[in-house]
Amino acid sequence: MSNPRPVLIVGYSSMLVAEFDRFLPENGVVVLEEPDPVRKRGARAMTDGAAVCRELIETEFLLPGGADKFFLEHQDLDPVAVVPGHDYAVPAAARIAERYGVPGASLGAAEVLRDKHLLRTVAAAAGIGNPASRPVSSAEEVAAFQREVAGPIIIKPANRQASIGTLAVTDPATIPQAWEQCLDHEEESCLPDRTPELRMLVEQFVTGDEYSVEMLYSHGDRSFANVTAKVLHPGPRPVELGHLVPAPVSPELTALLVSETERLLAAIGFGTGLVHCEWIVQDGKPYLVECAGRQPGDFILELVQTAYRFDLFRAYADLMSGRRPECPQSAELGAATWHGTATPGEVISVDGVEDARALPGVQTCDVGVQVGKTVHPLRSSWDRTAVVTASGETALAAHATAKRAIELIRVETKQV
């Protein structure tokens, strides 16, 4: 049997492999990943067990010139589409797509998306709302910025993901301690052991309701757009605890967030892809948080597929293969996620999971900890303990179900 032209996933994503396995032919996917993340994430076992996966290629594609080196060594691969599997792979995926002559974000746009400072610079030049922001390399520079804005600030990496190293600061006296906390990162499994240089930002803290826009877009042509409402954990760490799809807001605000996302993509010269763009709305004005040139995490795409009743992954594959997918313009149901947390310490028991799964409307119910494992203080998305997704007649109804299910899951810990 001859192999089909594959979809090339740049950067291992278990979600993309599993979803593409539903509808792509056998051997229809090739995965490209760095050797260290393959080992740290157990990627080979997953790809070896998926009929859709023809090959997992290990190469240092994140190095300068790595994407071009891969293309020159695999010119006969002839992919039908190239998609990024995670944040760090977005520029390499864009460059590889350019070299094979298939749709992609464009390298220039991808590099802007992967650097929050560059994104602020370009977005501000386009007249898009941004908080005051500045690159910093010390606690003293953070303190100087705080004195200028005379209010709360947020310290964050310019080139990391999943809220890693992000901390809000309201008391100037705590800036030295906050700076050290932001530099203390847990191991990032998507990165090679030769971790890239960390670049930090300090920004004015904008308060308001938070949203994201998920969009299929190609050179100014929008195939699909959804607005998701986000709920954050209270406190200085902006870790996401819940999502509601579609966001229960006015049609006017939905249209504004979609149009601002389109303006941003046009400003950075984005080509073709799926984006996840985050906003804070203060007094009716959207302020850009960040924009990712890849699929969202936190089960958001599951919520979108449930609410809109269509196969977004198939539509994504069609778009990246040069076709315009048929997509719904409005949701038929509501869907939501809610995440669980627990007191830091060693896990001594996990109960209530089956009760949570049995609630009407619950779809996914996953617990990420087990007895004997350690629950860490909530610093990033990786420190949450459980997740539930649910559907309902409205997003608010689904949200209530997901929260109720999480309340049934009891993770007991002891201090170590």
User: Tell me, what's the pLDDT at 161?
Assistant: 58
Q: What's the confidence (pLDDT) of residue 400? A: 97
Cis peptide before 172 (omega within 30 of 0): no
Which range of residues forms the domain containing residue 187?
132-204
Residues 171 and 279 in one domain: no
Sign of CA dihedral 249, 226, 157, 190: positive
- C-alpha–C-alpha distance, residues 170 and 128, integer Å: 26
What is the predicted pLDDT for the residue at 92?
97
| Same domain, residue pair 290 and 231 | yes
Same domain membership, residue 324 and residue 297: yes
Looking at the structure, tell me whether residues 217 and 323 fall in a common domain.
Answer: yes
Same domain, yes or no: 231 and 295: yes
> Does the reported pTM lie above 0.85?
yes
What local confidence, expressed as pLDDT, does residue 185 receive? Answer: 61
- Report the number of distinct structural domains present in the chain: 4
Among 124, 105, 107, smallest CA distance to 215 is for: 105
3-class SS of residue 295: coil
Residue 1 lies in a domain: no
- What is the structure's pLDDT at 198? 80
pLDDT, tens digit, 9 for 90 and up, residues 282-300 = 999 999 999 999 999 889 9
Same domain for 295 and 210?
Answer: yes
- Predicted confidence at residue 232, as pLDDT, reads 87
244 and 272 belong to one structural domain:
yes
**Could you give the residue ranges of the DSSP H alpha helices within 116-200?**
116-125, 139-149, 175-183
Q: Say whether 219 sits in a helix, a strand or coil.
A: coil
What integer pLDDT is reported at residue 187 of this predicted model? 56
Residue 328 within any structural domain of the chain: yes
Distance from C-alpha of 279 to C-alpha of 288, rounded to nearest angstrom: 5
Shared domain check, 233 and 177: no
The parts of the chain modelled with pLDDT lower than 70 are 1, 160-165, 184-188, 235-236
Query: How far is residue 234's CA from residue 241's CA, in Å, rounded to a whole number?
Result: 9
Q: Does some domain include residue 121?
A: no
Determine contact, residues 94/106, Cβ cutoff 8 Å: yes
SS (H, E, C) 43-110: HHHHHHCCCCEEEEEECCCCCCCHHHHHHHHCCCCCCCEEEECCHHHHHHHHHHHHHHCCCCCCHHHH
